[in-house]
Amino acid sequence: MSGHSKWANIKHQKGAEDARRGQLFTKLTREIMIAVRESGDNPESNLRLRMAIEKARNGAMPMDNVQRAIKRASGKEEGVILTEVTYEGYGPGGVAILVETMSDNRNRTLQEIRNVFSRGGGSLGESGCVSWMFQQKGVISITISDKNADELSLLAIDAGAEDVNITDDTLEIYTAPHDIEKVRHSLEEKGLTITSAEISREPQNTIELDEKKALQTVKLLEKLEGMDDVQKVYSNMDFSEEVMKQLAEASE
């Protein structure tokens, strides 16, 4: 289980997403708009838009909001011009961090991200300094509940998955980016409920942190994720199960 997954698990325990529901809708709206401007407003021919709409549904975003975002992006309603920029840097202990943003003011976003890195014990780097450490992967999550994890893993591999990762109650399924839809449909046809499916950036190697640096890094990642212009944050941090328990307790 990667450090990023452990961090996501801690956030889930804290219920942080519910507390930021309004901010989540803003991020989902921006993802939909960029997807439309990139490849059109037809979900059938636009994979990124299809996945953005599915993510919006999973996030309980009203379909009226989804349709409004599509219309704004396709020029049928007036809206702001958004630009995608990925920033790269380092956190405590030399952890690599990628920050995907969508902004209507790149200078403002750059300055805000630089400040968060600096105050969080990290540093913003040059383009390309850490992106080579990550690979794009399709990531599908399934809640295990009373199902047999090993059986689910075999089903995923048979469906075309490259790898799987079992946590306490979740099976994470990794695919090549272009295979994520095929694998998801295959699993749904077998009666499995997909919790989430998205294109992610997975680290090729991780750095294990002690409790102090792990706590600093988690706080830095949370600060970055809490920014309005930030869509996704990735890192190659890792830490022991004992440190994870301590971090979870500290967040309660």
The whole-chain average pLDDT of the chain stands at 84
Note the pLDDT tens digit of each residue in 121-148: 999 999 999 999 999 999 998 888 767 8
pLDDT > 70: percent of the chain: 86
Tokens of 57: 């549904």
103 vs 86: which has the higher pLDDT: 86
| pLDDT confidence band for 174 (50 / 70 / 90) | very high
Note the pLDDT tens digit of each residue in 200-237: 899 999 999 888 898 899 889 989 988 888 988 999 99
Report the top-level CATH class of 84-132+205-244. alpha beta
| pLDDT confidence band for 18 (50 / 70 / 90) | very low
Delimit the domains of the chain by residue range.
84-132+205-244
Within its chain, how far is the Cα of 106 from the centroid?
21
**What is the reported pLDDT for 80?**
66
**What is the reported pLDDT for 68?**
87
Three-class secondary structure assignment of 189-241 = HCCCCEEEEEEEEEECCCEECCHHHHHHHHHHHHHHHCCCCEEEEEECEECCH
Note the pLDDT tens digit of each residue in 56-102: 888 888 899 888 888 888 765 556 677 889 999 999 999 999 999 98
Checking if the pLDDT of 4 tops 60, the result is no
**Range 4-26 average pLDDT:** 60
**What is the reported pLDDT for 98?**
96
**What is the reported pLDDT for 91?**
95
Task: Quote the CA–CA distance of 239 and 252 in Å, as a whole number.
Answer: 19
Checking if the pLDDT of 194 tops 90, the result is no
> Terminal CA-to-CA distance of the chain, rounded, Å?
22
**What is the reported pLDDT for 79?**
60
